[in-house]
Amino acid sequence: MLFHICLVAIGGSFGAICRYLATSYLQRKYPGKIPFGTLTVNLMGSFLLGYLLGAAEDDKLTLLLGTGFMGAFTTFSTFNLEAVKLLEGREKTSGLFYIAVTYAGGITLAFLGMLLGKIGKGV
């Protein structure tokens, strides 16, 4: 049990660092109304988590990369806060677009990732 907790903690620390670096870089590179950094990490995370779960055969790897890394890399709370800020302000259209792309894109990419993961392991 302690080993599993350590796997999640190690993965989570790297995922949080990668999220911070990626969102900071993308927000500087693509400033605008839509929080592009958060959108990108959440969509990438959806695909990668789907792929991992489709391909994974090792529970330890799933704990390290899925629960730990991807759990910290993606960020539902930041997404919600950014969406509320857009909707409360004068950016209702941008807010609705952000919500729609995050949910529709995330679900689609998670599905495609799982499909590719299963294909990759020959299922």
Mean pLDDT of all residues in 54-70: 93
CA–CA gap between residue 25 and residue 15 (Å, rounded) = 15
What pLDDT does residue 37 have?
96
Write the DSSP symbol of residue 79: H
Packed helices 36-55 and 2-29: angle between N→C axes, nearest 10 degrees: 140
Answer whether residue 123 shows pLDDT above 80.
Answer: no
What pLDDT does residue 87 have?
95
- Name the amino acid, one letter, at 32: G
Question: Per the annotation, does 74 bind a ligand?
Answer: yes
What pLDDT does residue 121 have?
82
Question: Per the annotation, does 38 bind a ligand?
Answer: no
Q: What is the overall mean pLDDT for the chain?
A: 94
pLDDT, tens digit (0-9, with 9 covering 90-100), for 37-47: 999 999 999 99
When divided into structural domains, the chain yields a total of 1
- Expressed as residue numbers, the domain containing 79 is 2-120
Answer whether residue 112 shows pLDDT above 90.
Answer: yes
